Structure 1
Amino acid sequence: MSETQHADGQNKIEMRESSSLSSAEALALLAILIPVILRTVVSIDPFPFWSANPLESWIGLTGLSPAAILACDCITVVGAGVLMWLLARRGVVMQAWQVALALPAMMVAAWWGVRQGGSVDHLGAGMPWVAGLASAIVASTAARVPQARRVIAAVVIGISAMLALKAGMQVFVEHPTLVRDFKANREAIFAANGWLPDSSMARAYERRVMQSEATGWFGLANPIATVGAAVCVFGLALMMPLRGEKGRLGVGMMIAGVGAVIVALAGAKGGIAAALVGCAVIGIALILGRPAMAARKKFAGFLMLAGGLGAVVMPLVLVLARGVAGERFGELSIWFRAMYIEAALRIFGQHPWIGVGPAGFKDAYLLAKNPLNPEEVSSPHSLLADLGAGLGVAGLIAGVLVVFFALMAMARVHDAATIESVQETTTQLDDEEGVDRRLIAAALVTPVLIGAYLERDIATVENLVVRVVGLAAAVLVAVQLASVSGRRIMLGAGAATLAMIAHAQIEMTPVLSGSSGWFWLMVGLGAATTATSAGACRLGKTWSVVGTLVCVFVGGGVAAAALPGVMRWNSALRDAALEVRPLADVKALLQQGARDPIAMQDGLRILSQATGKPVTADPKSIKPAIDAMLESATDRASRALMRARNEGDGHYGTARAYSQLLMFRAELAIERGDKTGAKALADQAIDVVKEEAATSNAARFGWIGTLWVERAKRGLDGKEALTEADRAFEASGKLDPWSLNPLLRQIEVAKNAGEDAKAAVLSKRGLELHNWTRLDPLKGLTPPQKAELERLAGVK
């Protein structure tokens, strides 16, 4: 072998080493990818085992619990920190400004979660923000390594095939079944949620049920539409001819088709708009790629600046312009978003330094909202407004990072369009030999299998088909994409990032637990530079170390400080639900018993085992057995819920479920003639909710009022119960001043207390509030309610 051949061979080996990931780097990358994909293909269960009443029906765990989500976020953040450190060792260092802009928001969001012992709500909402920012930064760094870039692109784009199949199953199979079941059990569903059939909440729920739209595992149409738009744009970019390179029509059409199917099934207009933004970016890329543009650098620079800033600014300008137009147009969705942003600005003005917390927007919004807006939202539906209202100044600093990401993505689009061959120590090995398919398979197969296990309690043939066929399709798309040149991945990811950032100004994809990881990984990929030496200076190395330390400290610190408590809370909820599960099973079997003798025998057998006495099919034998089973099971369940409430640190859902179970036990005590015991249980039920006074909100005071009304109905208290109920509903109304619900409850209390004058005053206020609901009549008074308030107010 000649010296020249030996040198060429040695260069190829060195080139391959610089283009590949080490085993440690691959494991760190998997620690980021697997949790992200897991949250994409499994639904989120924010209140595990108790989202429905387990006394009536057993559902079990239906997805990722808050403890699982928190664990995923901590793994992602620590994995990002470790990967930062490993990449810095090979000279691929962080860009200092990225770390500096992200760190304040990460620290404030983590602080909201762990302060005062930990908050389930703030942890559940805030840690996905921390994990998202960390994964975006590390993706923009790791993508300088060709194999990492291909693996990230293959995984995040490949999983869209499963989302497309899930969307089709939802629209064509699940939704017709849902509507049929709802119509058959409409009254029971409303009763289980504590809604009157003609209440605004019941009518709004019915309207949502009747809407046929794909949501994937995200629960909302806009996030899956964002994914679909980004994937569609990515595929179109692969098909476009570039200077010195033909388009990849086959794989491009396949990916663009997957994205288009998702957008169509989601039915979200914002998804279509986002796809059009991406198409416009591709059009700019074609213009920039013309040879004549080489001499028109100022114009090219203007196009780049317009594309990057326009993705952030133009959606906000259009939304705010729609807000100024007011009622002159019939379209409401964008107008409502303008109102959300307006309220977010007020909230930021009142809480500028650390915001109201990642989960605090909903309560703050009720006080800051425009009264014409009938909706109650937990997010302003705009990424920059979300960051500012939730995290204050630190959030605004992170918003600057988002703007820079948009500009970087546009720069990458320019690079891909104008460079004939991306000369990189990063994009050699554009053949498939440089791609580790095992890494791609592990990142896709592992979370899908975990998801199937988590959803085993609600497993169906349809779900099995989605997971098996969808996984095969995802792997196929991923492997095909992994063979695409780094230049085309750069173009596709850049255009998709700009489309997503534009859509993120009017919806919630970046801040939802399920979709945020996917969003931020794609943003990091789209903003990635192409040279491994970028930022390889002392400052870059220093900030890489800082980023590593902060990620490991935040991820590991939150895991150590908060995760054990959240896991204990989760475990106590499960224990409480398991205690009452036999009741739900018995009720279901006895209902089937009228037409299925075997089911009747199974139900009687469970009752006999629970009570230690033989139970026959005679109703006189069944009822005492059920009552005895109820008394024993609810007593044990209430003790478990007390543990959950103590671990939940003010979690409203837990306190409500605990107090509801105590009131149920009070009813059982009344039935057996123990009024003293019933009153003690009812007192405890109210104390459970009252003790979280520091975290009181409109819903909590409303529930306290409901408990006092129930006490009055059951004769546990005299008029003082109605007085306390009135105070609670009044407090609820002060925290939600534009809602009719607390006012209607207060009017009902005044009528029952014989306070006609007060009922008249409140009724006049109710009629005034009704006038503000003209944009959504379902939120206003029903004709019978309006007539009753007019009668009480003396209006003719």
Structure 2
Amino acid sequence: MSARRGRPNAIAPERSDQRRPEAAAPASIRDVLLWLGAALVLGPTLLRLVVSIDPMPAWGTDLLLLWIPPSGLGAFGTLILDLLTVLGAGVVIAGTPVHVRVSVVALAVLGSSAVLAHAVRDEAHAVTGMPWVAGVCSGIAMMHLPRRSALRLAAIAALLGLSAMLGAKALVQVFIEHPATLASYEQTRQAFLASRGWSPDSVMARNYERRLYQPEATGWLGLANVFGSLAAALVTALGSAAWLSMRGRASDRRVPVLLGLGALLAAAALVLSQSKGALGVLVVGVAALVVVMRLPRRAGVLCALVPVAVLAGVIVRGMAGERFGELSILFRWFYIQGATGIFLDQPLLGVGPAGFKDAYMLAKPAISPEEVSSPHSIFFDWMACLGVFGAAWVVLIGCKCRAIGWLVEHEAPPPVVPVAHGPESARVAALVSAGLVALAVAGSAYFERTLLTPEMGIARAFGLLLGVGIAWGVTQAGDRSIRIVEIGMIGAGLTILAHSQIETTLVSAGATPAAWAMLGLACLPPTRPRCARANSIAGGGLVLVGVAGAVIVLPTMWTWSRALDRATEAVRPFGEALSALESAERGSVEASEAVRALAALARVPQPRDGEQVAITLARARQRAGEMALPGLREGVEARPLDLPTRSALIRLLVGLSQVSKDGGSAWATEAIATAERAPVLAPNSAQSWGLVVNTHMALLGFSPQASQERALWACRKAEGLDPHGLNYALRLVDLLGQAGLGEEQRAWARRVLQIDADLRLDPLRQLTPEQKAFIEAIAAP
């Protein structure tokens, strides 16, 4: 990567005449805006990397069967971070001394407008899509930070400094948390599956257990491949910077050591994620970095070829079909095929960020075994979900590739624009980056305080101390030669570009803003004199997106979030007592205290034997459920299209109707009415019709309104919207048998066997041997 043919040395220290002297004058309003905006972008971006995100806080399971203390960020909290990021990006653009091309920001606004248009109809599109908007805005903001500034250097240092936290989390997760989780799951397997509404031999349960038993590091992101993607980008950035620091003979030997430690921790996270795709794109990213640095005049074109080449590889693998044992890339080919069909069917606005899964179940090839919520290829994600408006973001990626090429080609800051901005010193950059890392770690500890363990406490302390050290090393390396950290960020950006074509890195709620920030910091916009009017218009456009998003979704999401919080708090005393009783030894003081608490909740005398304890537990569970009902009802009223909230209310109503001696019929009637409303609001969702099926069948014998005929009718509707899956087809065979429709049952049994054969690429999704024997017996003439 050293300079050749008379070009200046890429990693040589800047001469004193290249450095701008420290400004003695007070910071201007524009300076304050720039730093404030950058803080609003970077704070939420870093925080969401180290906090788990749950779009359905607490009520994704039945809290009356298995108490899991809520932790992390819910949908409302995530939306707040999204909007802060978008507004901060607008402030950065308005305040930066760098010229901003309005056309680039217009591309971001166009794609964002499609997300907001879908959010007007259903807030779920905002929950899924606003992180995309925040990511795009984060990338634009970071791209336009002044090149040789303490602020840009601090942003790079803070992002790279979090490698310590991610590495520490991976180690704790695989070697400590995973064995403990397996032990806990095996003890509470029946209760856990029941809380999710899954039977032990269901496809959902088997697929969940397949993932659970794999010792993969997912960090706080929930997906090993996305975690591996960020880890690969960090390895590329820190490894390159460490190598260049050693080659440049850094005056402080601690710098390459700290950078190398960061690279090793990121590499550990990458290996523990077991992501083959991330390991592959690490090689691609490093190779692409070497090539573009050796061919700087063609860097823009070469950068654009990176995602194109990866896509071409997916297509080639897809055309090869089933002849090779490797299946993950073949599945990506299936996703792309489905996404293409979805786009052609709804080209204007697409199906919305939250609509891909339902659309894919209809559009996917028959032999595709998976039901996914993303095509795992960013261009097709945007086109399928946002239609032609998503094409604006595809063009934006092209602009990013050109800007990376511009940074590669221009080694020294051009003299025609200010090369520095704000307080210029490595000390300021180090302090700011340390503060950002500390803020992220403190936020992680706060939002996950209910699940804090000694091991994670040690990991956070380790991540904080070493993270601050790595950030300091980055600022020192950048102070000696900004080119060292620039080359590292170019490598990280190329890695992100490559993996986003086969993974969900740029659409993941936790990872998207950070991935875009890395991509933005790898860019340098073409140099032009600053135009205050253009910057103000561009910044105003992003602020307008943030304000529109707040107006459209925040009132509803606030009402919904508060309603679910009230329902959770109503259940908390019972849940904590139940958890204490299950974990205590029989006859211990702890068990007695838990039983006493349950008796107080149930308003009954202290039980004296096991039978009375069971009665007390049932009554306490019923009272807790009754107290949670108003909150869940309000949540459904606030977001009537949200199926998880509706499912939680129905699950609670069904449970109460089955155990109650008085009032059960009224609850059953409400459960059926709540379920029947789902397909009226979302008739094209198989899950909506499935909710009707499950509710009617669960209440047979408990309510005269529960109808097997109605369940059969709804199951036909659900199967029509999921024609390539086994779930509803298998259920249909069972319902037809109960209805005495033998000939139709036999025909559907043959259809089930055909679907089962089509799912051959994933045996876990096929029928179990017992199920297959049962279906074959029915299908026999």
TM-score by length of 1: 0.90
1:503 pairs with one of 477, 496, 499 = 499
Cα contact 1:644–1:654 (8 A) shared by 2: yes
2:105 pairs with one of 99, 107, 121 = 99
In the aligned structure 2, how far is the partner of 1:684 from the partner of 1:425?
Answer: 67
Structure 1 residues 20, 160: CA separation in 2 closer, same or farther (over 3 Å shift)? farther
Residue correspondence of structure 1 range 17-166 to structure 2 within 5 A: 22-87=31-96, 91-113=97-119, 115-116=120-121, 119-144=122-147, 146-166=149-169
RMSD: 2.8
Q: Is 1:467 aligned to 2:460, yes or no?
A: yes
Q: Is 1:476 aligned to 2:469, yes or no?
A: yes
Cα contact 1:366–1:736 (8 A) shared by 2: yes
Counterpart code for 1:701: W
Residue correspondence of structure 1 range 316-715 to structure 2 within 5 A: 316-416=311-411, 425-426=418-419, 432-433=425-426, 435-483=428-476, 484=478, 485-529=481-525, 534-536=527-529, 538=531, 541-591=532-582, 595-619=586-610, 621-669=612-660, 672=661, 674=662, 677-692=663-678, 693-696=680-683, 697-712=685-700, 714-715=701-702
Q: Deviations for 1:421-479, whole angstroms, at most 9, x for unmatched residues? A: 99974269998546343322222212321221111111111121121111111111111
Counterpart code for 1:377: V
Cα contact 2:216–2:274 (8 A) shared by 1: yes
Structure 2 regions of 5+ residues with no counterpart?
Answer: 1-16
Structure 1 residues 448, 103: CA separation in 2 closer, same or farther (over 3 Å shift)? same
SS at match of 1:58: coil
In the aligned structure 1, how far is the partner of 2:84 from the partner of 2:651?
Answer: 36
Q: Deviations for 1:730-784, whole angstroms, at most 9, x for unmatched residues? A: 1111111101111111111122222222211211111111110111111111111
SS at match of 2:90: helix
Partner residue of 1:3? none
Cα displacement (A) at 1:38 = 0.8
Structure 1 residues 523, 19: CA separation in 2 closer, same or farther (over 3 Å shift)? farther
Cα displacement (A) at 1:316 = 0.3
Cα contact 2:226–2:505 (8 A) shared by 1: yes
Q: Percent identity?
A: 32
Q: Deviations for 1:235-290, whole angstroms, at most 9, x for unmatched residues? A: 233245599966774454234323322221211111112211221133225534xx
Cα contact 2:348–2:389 (8 A) shared by 1: yes
1:182 pairs with one of 171, 181, 185 = 185
SS at match of 1:662: helix
Structure 1 residues 35, 754: CA separation in 2 closer, same or farther (over 3 Å shift)? same
SS at match of 2:144: helix
In the aligned structure 1, how far is the partner of 2:209 from the partner of 2:609?
Answer: 38
Q: Deviations for 1:156-181, whole angstroms, at most 9, x for unmatched residues? A: 11111110111111111112222233
Counterpart code for 1:63: G
Cα contact 2:285–2:498 (8 A) shared by 1: no
Cα contact 2:148–2:413 (8 A) shared by 1: no
In the aligned structure 2, how far is the partner of 1:558 from the partner of 1:20?
Answer: 27
In the aligned structure 1, how far is the partner of 2:415 from the partner of 2:454?
Answer: 47
Partner residue of 2:12? none
* Range that drifts further, 474-483 or 594-603: 594-603
SS at match of 1:767: helix
Cα contact 2:105–2:541 (8 A) shared by 1: no
Q: Is 1:794 aligned to 2:777, yes or no?
A: no
Cα displacement (A) at 1:591 = 4.1
Cα contact 1:147–1:435 (8 A) shared by 2: yes
Cα contact 1:237–1:282 (8 A) shared by 2: no
Q: Runs of 4 or more off by more than 6 Å in structure 1?
A: 8-11, 15-21, 420-424, 428-431
Partner residue of 1:716? 703
Cα contact 1:709–1:721 (8 A) shared by 2: yes
Q: Deviations for 1:77-129, whole angstroms, at most 9, x for unmatched residues? A: 11111121122xxx42312331122110011112222x14xx34211111111
Cα contact 1:16–1:434 (8 A) shared by 2: no
Cα contact 2:132–2:507 (8 A) shared by 1: yes
Q: Is 1:772 aligned to 2:779, yes or no?
A: no
In the aligned structure 2, how far is the partner of 1:287 from the partner of 1:214?
Answer: 35
Cα contact 1:139–1:521 (8 A) shared by 2: yes
Partner residue of 2:10? none
TM-score by length of 2: 0.91
Counterpart code for 1:254: L
Cα displacement (A) at 1:43 = 0.6
Structure 1 residues 236, 591: CA separation in 2 closer, same or farther (over 3 Å shift)? closer
Counterpart code for 2:305: G
Structure 1 residues 242, 206: CA separation in 2 closer, same or farther (over 3 Å shift)? closer
Counterpart code for 1:524: G
In the aligned structure 2, how far is the partner of 1:11 from the partner of 1:251?
Answer: 27
Alignment coverage as a number of residue pairs = 757
Counterpart code for 1:575: R
Counterpart code for 2:114: V
1:258 pairs with one of 238, 245, 265 = 265
* Range that drifts further, 250-259 or 774-783: 250-259
Partner residue of 1:296? none
Cα displacement (A) at 1:567 = 2.0
Counterpart code for 1:486: I
Structure 1 residues 144, 432: CA separation in 2 closer, same or farther (over 3 Å shift)? closer
Cα displacement (A) at 1:33 = 0.7
Cα displacement (A) at 1:396 = 1.0
SS at match of 1:22: helix
Cα contact 1:139–1:528 (8 A) shared by 2: no
Cα displacement (A) at 1:338 = 0.8
Cα contact 1:20–1:146 (8 A) shared by 2: no
In the aligned structure 1, how far is the partner of 2:84 from the partner of 2:539?
Answer: 13
Cα contact 2:301–2:402 (8 A) shared by 1: no
Structure 1 regions of 5+ residues with no counterpart?
Answer: 1-7, 289-299
Cα contact 1:20–1:148 (8 A) shared by 2: no
Cα displacement (A) at 1:612 = 4.0
Q: Deviations for 1:108-155, whole angstroms, at most 9, x for unmatched residues? A: 112222x14xx3421111111111111111111114351121011001
Cα displacement (A) at 1:315 = 0.3
Cα contact 1:34–1:443 (8 A) shared by 2: yes
In the aligned structure 2, how far is the partner of 1:360 from the partner of 1:55?
Answer: 30
Partner residue of 1:294? none
In the aligned structure 2, how far is the partner of 1:723 from the partner of 1:339?
Answer: 36
Partner residue of 1:292? none
Cα displacement (A) at 1:401 = 0.8
Cα displacement (A) at 1:74 = 0.7
Counterpart code for 2:469: L
SS at match of 1:354: coil
SS at match of 1:508: coil
In the aligned structure 1, how far is the partner of 2:714 from the partner of 2:497?
Answer: 43
Cα displacement (A) at 1:189 = 2.9
Residue correspondence of structure 1 range 177-326 to structure 2 within 5 A: 177-239=180-242, 249-285=256-292, 287-288=294-295, 301-302=297-298, 304-326=299-321
Structure 1 residues 599, 318: CA separation in 2 closer, same or farther (over 3 Å shift)? same
Partner residue of 2:13? none
Counterpart code for 1:448: V
Cα contact 2:150–2:426 (8 A) shared by 1: no
Counterpart code for 1:276: V
SS at match of 1:395: helix
In the aligned structure 2, how far is the partner of 1:608 from the partner of 1:183?
Answer: 28
Counterpart code for 1:259: A
Q: Deviations for 1:177-210, whole angstroms, at most 9, x for unmatched residues? A: 2223333433333333222222222221121111
Cα contact 2:571–2:628 (8 A) shared by 1: yes
Q: Deviations for 1:6-36, whole angstroms, at most 9, x for unmatched residues? A: xx99973459989999344222211111101
Partner residue of 1:747? 733
Cα contact 1:244–1:420 (8 A) shared by 2: no
